[in-house]
Amino acid sequence: MPVLNESDYLERAVDTVLAQEVDGPSEVILALGPSTDGTTELARRLAERHPRIVLVDNPDADIPIGLNLAIRAGRYPTVVRVDAHSELEPGYTREALATLDRARAANVGGVMRADGRTPFQRAVARAYNSPIGLGGATYHGGTHEGEAESAYLGVMRRAVLDEVGLFDESIRRGEDWELNLRIRRAGYRVWFDPALAVTYWPRESWTRLARQFAATGRWRGELVRRYGRGNSLRFFAPPLLVVDIAVAVVVGVLQLTGVLSGWVSGAASIVYLPIIAYVLVIAAVAIGSGGGHGARDKLWTAAVIPTMHLSWGSGFLLGLAAGAHDTVDTSRLGDRNTPLP
């Protein structure tokens, strides 16, 4: 478990891991980044109470580096990746190990079931759980078991990880997708089992959400630069939306200033149709959401889905054009502009 500034979530996440029942020994390895909110002190207290917890330092704070440090420190042949913002369902590990053997897979993942505690976080969770929110990836609501492009978190065979070279430490976002691409190219199976479920707690504020998705989108653009057609077509929808909005703005200005007129103006107006359709879909999703939580949840839903799409799409275009370089997800630092070290 890579950990950075997770004082509100870490203890519960660790508790759900320690509660897992498996046939054989296990350990919980926390890769500790340079937290500023008391997370490291909390992790040390947890380690004092639970001898199965092992702490390793991750001074660079990067997730793939922390994952590799934890994996190398591990003693056992199976690696269960966990996120500090997640909670494992009871029986998750036992079921995943059984599926790993039954499917003869190298990596097994299940459903990422997002949840929220506030109107904003609940809206983000609905977006995560909706096909329109994150493009319909299997682990966001798939119901059919089978081979998959990637796996959420993942229960992995250590021997296969060693064979393909662990996580690529040059990739700061999307490292799991890239690892699973190498696993599949090496001839192994990545498997989705909808019986497995992990609760995920999204970012708690609009600015943190926007920063998270901008960084993720930029790294996806970098991965497209590196791997081209190895990427799913669904990754291109948000950047196409951003491009269409930009073109629509230009067309609108030209129409208002009279540069475009007559049939040319009418033909150019076709760029507005995808935007109108998008707005109508977002409105329908927002109106139909919220359950018993009321208007605030619906309004936040109408706000967070475009935030996710436009932040991700803009980041993607930047990453595709110029690469990701040292882009990091500063949302893990809270609502501050201080970059990661």
Number of domains forming the structure of the chain = 2
Segment 320-324 mean pLDDT: 95
Strands 146-147 and 190-200: antiparallel
Are 328 and 187 in the same domain?
Answer: no
Are 39 and 112 in the same domain?
Answer: yes
Residue 340 lies in a domain: no
The single-letter DSSP state of residue 271 is G
Residue 282 lies in a domain: yes
Are 55 and 115 in the same domain?
Answer: yes
Residue 23 lies in a domain: yes
| 136-192 pLDDT, tens digit each | 566 666 678 999 999 999 999 999 999 999 999 999 999 999 999 999 999 999 999
Are 144 and 235 in the same domain?
Answer: no
Are 160 and 269 in the same domain?
Answer: no
Domain containing 121 — which CATH number?
Answer: 3.90.550.10
Are 10 and 159 in the same domain?
Answer: yes
| pLDDT given for residue 131 in this prediction | 78
Query: Which one-letter amino acid corresponds to residue 200?
Result: Y
| 53-94 pLDDT, tens digit each | 999 999 988 999 999 999 999 999 999 999 999 999 999 999
Looking at 202, 219, 253, which one is the last position of a domain?
Answer: 202
| pLDDT given for residue 326 in this prediction | 85
Residue 208 lies in a domain: no
Question: Residues 210, 215, 220, CA angle at the centre, nearest 5°?
Answer: 125
Residue 218 lies in a domain: no
Are 107 and 252 in the same domain?
Answer: no
Phi, psi (degrees; rounded to nearest 5) at 103: -85, -5
Give 41's Cβ-side CA count (13 Å radius).
4
| 96-112 pLDDT, tens digit each | 999 999 999 999 999 99
Are 196 and 233 in the same domain?
Answer: no
Are 260 and 303 in the same domain?
Answer: yes
Are 19 and 162 in the same domain?
Answer: yes
Are 107 and 156 in the same domain?
Answer: yes
- State if pTM tops 0.95: no
Residue 213 lies in a domain: no
Confidence band, pLDDT 50/70/90 cuts, at residue 291 = low
For residue 6, give its domain range: 2-202
Residue 26 lies in a domain: yes
| d(C-alpha 96, C-alpha 92), whole Å | 6
* CA distance readout (Å), 94 to 78, 247, 257: 12, 52, 66
Segment 243-266 mean pLDDT: 96
Are 257 and 176 in the same domain?
Answer: no
Segment 11-17 mean pLDDT: 96
Residue 221 lies in a domain: no
